């Protein structure tokens, strides 16, 4: 997932690399030499059907499978262990080609055009029309195999599987293995030192922010030099004030039966949240000149109390200060007594080339990849929230995220994602326009008008 999301959004009820924003910029072109290592002891796998029924390698027909990915550096240990296990348990050799993230879309398109697609292919996600926003391409439904009959699928959250089948073919082409959530990452020591409890509604949140401001602590670190970060608060607000009323609104906005001007009051309320907080001084000085790394460091060092972002940002905060105790809570834009919305999303996964010469072996490899035995290692690498129900975690931050999701109203995507909210092909650059809005270079009325205009053009193509 490209973090600079013009239209971010990717699906699920609970689903991709919590601390990795969805991809790496590894400069390694390829790798196929596993140096299997034991998985972290943080997650624990209960018995996995797919793993427990693997035949001895000596009884399996030898197979060689190609694997195209961008994510080796994000999950090196688990990938090496997977490659070793596939060889030892199933006599399957993996030839992995790891491509830098910024070259991945071009590489995949080239391989598709030249009929040179490997057996296993990582994808940044597919929407209902089988369009990948990450790779900017629509896949042919006959190109990839349906995974519905794999035994390991039974281990995953039903909502995850059902959501991924909501495409024009009704098939399961890949399985997201971990989820991201949007909310508040906060410095627990700053909260404790200032006598602040985790807020559960908008009044409590405003009171906490005012108390922090009075103590000369920046309430919210904003890295708005990076345009994509200006989307997070509006994404959560849209979930609270629009999706919270009617989840079908997002589909109507995508098919053109509803325009943003038709829900202008709600959209104005959504966009005013960030505008109001900027006006009240809840962000640091020069927030438009501060990037996300510096904003993360501010929370890590206690110069700011909170960062409103995705759960993946924990890695950057802890990287700046490993000793910082960082917690998570949903952004409570709700009134007292109302539900707090938790937008979630994740959409990367691995596809099987339906034209593979070793289709059975590819399915066997995929079944083992998705098994709790293997997913335990992947989740350890990602520090993620697993969608395989047999994988258990003990990471305190992850547990807080899971508890927040269990106690509040989880939504399966956020504004702009999953083929909803806008028609395919719209030229409206959400991130740039929101950055312009918070910089006061455009009004809310103009934002809404421009969004409708771009969407109308896309619908009339």
Which H or E run includes 181? strand 178-187
Give me the number of domains the chain comprises. Answer: 2
Domain check: are 53 and 172 in the same one? yes
What pLDDT was estimated at residue 20? 40
Domain check: are 290 and 322 in the same one? yes
What pLDDT was estimated at residue 285? 97
Q: Classify the C-alpha dihedral 12-13-17-20 as positive or negative.
A: positive
What pLDDT was estimated at residue 419? 76
Residue 13 lies in a domain: no
What pLDDT was estimated at residue 56? 61
Task: Report, in this order, helix, strand and coil percent for the chain, each rounded to 5.
Answer: 45, 15, 40
Domain range spanning residue 380?
44-176+346-395
Residue 414 lies in a domain: no
Rounded to whole angstroms, the Cα distance separating 303 from 147 reads 48
Domain check: are 156 and 87 in the same one? yes
In this structure, the dihedral spanned by the alpha carbons of residues 252, 257, 263 and 268, taken in order and rounded to 10 degrees, is 70
Domain check: are 58 and 106 in the same one? yes
Residue 417 lies in a domain: no
Domain check: are 455 and 326 in the same one? yes
In this structure, the dihedral spanned by the alpha carbons of residues 233, 203, 212 and 326, taken in order and rounded to 10 degrees, is -60
Residue 403 lies in a domain: no
Domain check: are 351 and 440 in the same one? no
Instruction: Report the chain's C-alpha Rg in angstroms.
Output: 22
Domain check: are 137 and 87 in the same one? yes
Rounded to whole angstroms, the Cα distance separating 351 from 142 reads 12
**Residue 245: exposure state from Cβ atoms within 10 A (0-12, 13-18, ≥19):** exposed
Question: Tokens 């910082």 sit at which residue?
Answer: 324
CATH code of the domain covering residue 170: 3.40.190.10
Residue 99 lies in a domain: yes
What pLDDT was estimated at residue 23? 37
What pLDDT was estimated at residue 1? 39
How confident is the chain (461 residues) per 10-residue block, as mean pLDDT?
40 38 38 35 60 62 96 90 98 96 92 96 89 85 97 90 90 93 97 98 98 98 96 98 96 96 98 98 98 97 97 90 97 97 89 97 98 94 86 89 90 85 90 97 98 96 64
Question: Tokens 């740039």 sit at which residue?
Answer: 432
Rounded to whole angstroms, the Cα distance separating 456 from 142 reads 31
What pLDDT was estimated at residue 44? 66
Residue 6 lies in a domain: no
């Amino acid at each position: 997932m490209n973090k600079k999301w013009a239209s971010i959004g990717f699906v699920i009820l609970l689903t991709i690399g919590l601390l990795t924003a969805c991809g790496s910029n590894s400069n390694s072109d390829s790798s196929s030499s596993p140096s299997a290592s034991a998985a972290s002891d943080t997650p624990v796998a209960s018995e996995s059907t797919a793993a427990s029924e693997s035949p001895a390698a000596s009884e399996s027909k030898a197979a060689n499978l190609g694997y195209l990915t961008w994510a080796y550096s994000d999950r090196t240990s688990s990938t090496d262990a997977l490659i070793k296990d596939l060889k030892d348990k199933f006599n399957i050799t993996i030839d992995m080609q790891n491509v830098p993230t910024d070259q991945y879309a071009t590489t995949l398109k080239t391989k598709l055009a030249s009929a040179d697609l490997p057996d296993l292919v990582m994808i940044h996600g597919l929407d209902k029309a089988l369009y990948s926003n990450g790779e900017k391409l629509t896949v042919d439904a006959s190109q990839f195999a349906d995974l519905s009959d794999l035994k390991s699928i039974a281990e995953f959250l039903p909502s995850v599987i059902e959501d991924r089948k909501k495409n024009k073919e009704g098939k399961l082409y890949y399985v997201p293995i971990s989820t991201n959530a949007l909310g508040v990452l906060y410095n627990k020591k700053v909260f404790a030192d200032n006598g602040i409890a985790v807020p559960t509604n908008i009044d409590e949140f405003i009171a906490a922010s005012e108390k922090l401001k009075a103590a000369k602590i920046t309430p919210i670190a904003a890295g708005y030099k990076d345009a994509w970060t200006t989307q997070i608060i509006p994404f959560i607000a849209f979930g609270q004030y629009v999706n919270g009323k009617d989840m079908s609104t997002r589909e109507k906005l995508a098919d053109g039966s509803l325009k943003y001007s038709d829900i202008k009051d709600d959209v104005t309320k959504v966009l005013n949240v960030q505008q109001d907080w900027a006006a009240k001084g809840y962000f640091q000085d020069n927030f438009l000149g501060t990037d996300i790394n510096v904003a993360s460091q501010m929370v890590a060092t206690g110069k700011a109390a909170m960062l409103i972002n995705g759960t993946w940002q924990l890695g950057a905060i802890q990287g700046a200060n490993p000793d910082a105790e960082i917690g998570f809570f949903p952004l409570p834009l709700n009134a007292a007594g109302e539900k707090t919305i938790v937008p979630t999303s994740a959409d990367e996964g691995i596809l099987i080339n339906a034209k593979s010469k070793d289709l059975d072996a590819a399915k066997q490899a995929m079944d083992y990849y998705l098994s709790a035995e293997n997913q335990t290692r992947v989740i350890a690498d990602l520090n993620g929230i697993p969608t395989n129900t047999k994988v258990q975690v003990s990471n305190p931050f992850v547990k807080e995220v899971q508890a927040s999701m269990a106690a509040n109203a989880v939504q399966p995507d956020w504004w702009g994602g999953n083929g909803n909210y806008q028609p395919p092909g719209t030229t409206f650059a959400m991130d740039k326009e929101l950055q312009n809005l918070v910089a006061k270079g455009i009004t809310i009325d103009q934002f809404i008008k421009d969004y409708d205009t771009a969407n109308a053009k896309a619908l009339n193509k």
